[in-house]
Amino acid sequence: MNITRIPAFTDNYFWLLSNKNNHFATIVDPGDSKPVLNTLQNEHLILESILVTHHHNDHIGGISDLKKVFPKCIVYGPDDKRIPTDICVNDNEELNLENIGAKFRVIEVPGHTSSHIAYYFDKKLFCGDTLFSCGCGRLFEGTPEQMHDSLEKIQNLPDDTLVYCAHEYTLDNIGFAKIVDPLNDLLIEKEKKVIELRDQNIPTVPSILKEEKLINPFLRYKDKVIMESVANHYKKEISNSIEVFHHTRMWKDTEYD
């Protein structure tokens, strides 16, 4: 099975999974049909399914046109009326795409939206806008508690899991992470590598979960360094990991972005 990154808009990535033996493919979060159709045509692939993580238009905007070209294509996604799903999938459900050669486990990860899900197989996580390299999604619909618990689920995956997020936000996220954790040598080194990659227009994702646990402030809500940084910033005692996450997210939303 091959995984192809399809860039779109200003910073989106659509992930195309394909089986070159039988020419079947599935696409994760196709917000625009044009780059997907171009790739499918160039690679001589047949789109058999679409995997949706959440309802935002930059993740579902291309579905209608893709279905016109591939009417037998099945859309999988969460139970959400805002998504044109053919088959709804739920937490811990197994989704076996035999033609692609992938057997996914569905993981409910509410927070960015109320019905957000992720797809996991073979130490690969397609997580939409829940987790980014050195960052996480804004809480448009979910609560801090929900996002905290969703990120906790992700942290429990194997350390060598590859995180296929949906946006190229890494360099900007590092800018905020350095404010929260300015003495993190791993973070400084990561920034150098990311700048070098972006200068060559090379993507910085997928990232590796083990590294994210060391540099991503939104995964380090139990780390004393982050706890103290957040408490000092807000000039109050913050010891609960949910509150640490909540205030870290609030810090970025109100004073950085």
- pLDDT tens, 99-108? 999 999 999 9
- pLDDT tens, 45-80? 999 999 999 999 999 999 999 999 999 999 999 999
Cβ atoms < 10 Å from Cβ of 199: 8
| Confidence category of residue 116, pLDDT binned at 50, 70, 90 | very high
Cβ atoms < 10 Å from Cβ of 119: 26
Write down the pLDDT at residue 162: 99
CA–CA dist 62, 120 (Å, integer): 23
Residues designated as active site: 54, 56, 58-59, 112, 129, 167
Distance set, CA 52 to CA 16, 183, 231 (Å):
12, 38, 37
CA–CA dist 108, 130 (Å, integer): 10
Distance set, CA 114 to CA 33, 54, 174, 177, 227 (Å):
25, 9, 26, 26, 27
- For residue 178, pLDDT beyond 90: yes
Place of tokens 């937490």: 91
| Confidence category of residue 125, pLDDT binned at 50, 70, 90 | very high
CA–CA dist 41, 35 (Å, integer): 10
- pLDDT tens, 129-168? 999 999 999 999 999 999 999 999 999 999 999 999 999 9
The pTM of this model reads 0.97
CA–CA dist 223, 161 (Å, integer): 21
Write down the pLDDT at residue 256: 87
Mean pLDDT value of segment 210-214: 99
Cβ atoms < 10 Å from Cβ of 163: 23
Q: Are 108 and 90 in contact (CB under 8 A)?
A: yes
- pLDDT tens, 186-196? 999 999 999 99
Give the amino acid at 2. Answer: N
Of 25, 26, 31, 1, nearest to 167 (Cα)? 31
* Helical spans, DSSP H, in the chain: 33-43, 57-60, 63-69, 144-155, 170-180, 185-199, 209-215, 224-234, 241-255
222 - beta bridge partners?
none
| Confidence category of residue 239, pLDDT binned at 50, 70, 90 | confident
